[in-house]
Chains A and B, each alone.
Chain A
Amino acid sequence: MANIKIPIGPQHPALKEPESFSITLNGETIISMDMRLGYNHRGIEKACEERTYIQAMYLVERVCGICSHSHSTCFIQAVEEIAGLAVPPRALYIRTIVSELERMHSHLLWLGVAGHEIGFDTLLMYSWRDREVVMDTLAALTGNRVNYGINTFGGVRRDISKEQLDGLLKTMDVLEERTKYYIEVASQEMTLIKRLSGVGYLSHEDAVKLGAVGPTGRASNVDADVRRDDPYLAYKDIEFKVITDTHNDVFGRTLVRVGELMQSYSMIRQLVAKIPEGPVTVKAPRKMPAGEALSRYEAPRGEDVHYVKANGTDKAERVKIRAPTLANLQSVAKMMENNRLADVPIIIAAIDPCFSCTDRMVQIKHADHGRQETLSWQALHAQSLEWYRKQGVDFADLNAKMSRRMKI
């Protein structure tokens, strides 16, 4: 059979930016994938050179809608290192608390999206309801659900009260209870195991060679986590396990993320127990001395890297940002190989949770005679569910079963 090329996108917000994937198929099997990126390049690095540090900080927080605190903290750490600012420990703890809450919000969101892509919509409804608990907590602590604006050079803009810290512990109890059940579902339900196992395979060797970061790398047994390896904020003061897995597929990526949720709850408890008293900010200069710094941060999706060069003025000479998704893109192409068209939605979803299903088209161009057809993302999604139903992997029972179990 002749190979067929299917373009997906660029109105395809599966990852941070709209992207265009061109997938070459033989029958239903993916031979290779080609990518075109940059549709949403906003020129933030250039814009940072034309703004003062404090303006740039707010801009950088908007690099990503979900990892906003990740980017803002990664940037601010670099600038504080250049300025030699001694950030008060209480401020570091508060930043760490927000950082772990952000990871919970991101992972719970991802779990729901992954559930939806495989037809397990009850999981989407429940995990997103739990995610609301995290969003409400973030709003209570920082004043906002996303783009928290908690950071400022030299510390944080709001303190956390004793009552809020106590409330955090109660929230952790609720979330932990729920997550335990998700772990049970993810690791024991045959329907889920059969649907996700072997899908989007990325061997350990390829993950290392292609520089996979975050849960994507850790699910291929890449034992790396910036929080442990290159500690920042308050991570050196608390104990946690770096969750790795050897399944090397979407199933493994699910186990790593639910495992990381449990670690985050434990981290919040330790942070609440250990948070020191004291001021939450020191005065920062408006002009930063000349110098350079490289800052790394474990965002929910993996290693975030910021390089800042200062020239002694109130504006940066250069700000370089490398978000985790860019580091994972070469791995994505590899994961697609030898999978089926029906697995495209979940493989893409397994990389990143920014998945709004609007304005999405799949255009099928028959390579042999040039005839064109279009498939909407919904149709591709439906095709994926139907294909697996025929293989005997159907989530109808599991949806009903979980709805019964989780009624509270």
Chain B
Amino acid sequence: MINANKAKKELAEKFGLDTERISVPRARRVFLEVPYAQFRQVLEHVVNGLKFRHLCTITGLDEGESLAFIYHVAHADGTVISLETRVPKAAPVLQTITDIFPDGVSYERELVDLLGARVEGLPAGNRYPLPEGWPDGQYPLRKDWKVGMLDGVK
């Protein structure tokens, strides 16, 4: 558990984070939560400072009033930091991380299509994964979305 606990300690000290909000549930897993204002700074340190160089994926969650995003970033030694942040659902705007992880583009497009996040700086390209002509404003992974909402949509 050396690396996970070391990462926890370093992140807590460097960014003045509450250690209650950083958990190490088992070997090689770190979960932490940061306000969005601090997110980019922490992510850059995780990638460049702590050398977590592989983006596993980005998970998006609908929490009612807000949308949460978890960036799962892995170290070559098998440790994964799950960096969670949230933005209000009324204005779900994120900055792209494709400048750090070019392969994050598919994961960010999923957040746009399935959860209705707005990702600023996302490179132009085809939408993913929903089809062309999918009705505007319908985001299937939001909790209030039901399959029936597609009835009658042409």
Contacts and interface: CB of A to CB of B under 8 A. Distances in A.
Indicate, yes or no, whether A interacts with B.
yes
A42 to B, nearest CB: 10
A115 to B, nearest CB: 30
Given A294-B82, A296-B56, A36 B106 contact: no
Interface of B: 25-26, 28-29, 31, 53-57, 59-61, 70, 72, 74, 76-80, 82, 101-103, 105-107, 114, 125-131, 140-141, 145
Contact of A34 (B70, B78, B107, B125): B125
Nearest to A317: B61
Nearest to A328: B103
Nearest to B104: A211
B22 to A, nearest CB: 14
B54 A224 contact: yes
Interface string A78-106: 00010000000000000000000000000
Tell me what chain B mostly uses at the interface: helix, strand, loop, or mixed: mixed
A211 B82 contact: no
Contacts of B102: 209-211, 330
Contacts of B129: 37-38, 41
Contacts of B103: 209-211, 327, 330
A208 interface: yes
Nearest to A82: B25
Contacts, number: 87
The range of chain A's interface size is: 35 or more
Given A211-B101, A230-B80, A303-B56, 5 more contacts: A81-B25, A229-B76, A230-B74, A318-B59, A330-B105
Given A34-B126, A330-B102, A307 B55 contact: no
Contacts of A224: 54, 76
Interface of A: 34-39, 41, 43, 45-46, 81, 208-211, 224, 226, 229-231, 291-294, 296, 303, 305, 307, 309, 317-318, 320, 322, 326-327, 329-330
Given A208-B53, A318-B59, A329 B25 contact: no
A43 B59 contact: no
A12 to B, nearest CB: 15
Contacts of A210: 102-103
B122 to A, nearest CB: 14
A224 B74 CA distance: 11
Contact of B72 (A38, A226, A294): A294
Given A36-B126, A43-B140, A318-B59, A294 B54 contact: no
A315 to B, nearest CB: 12
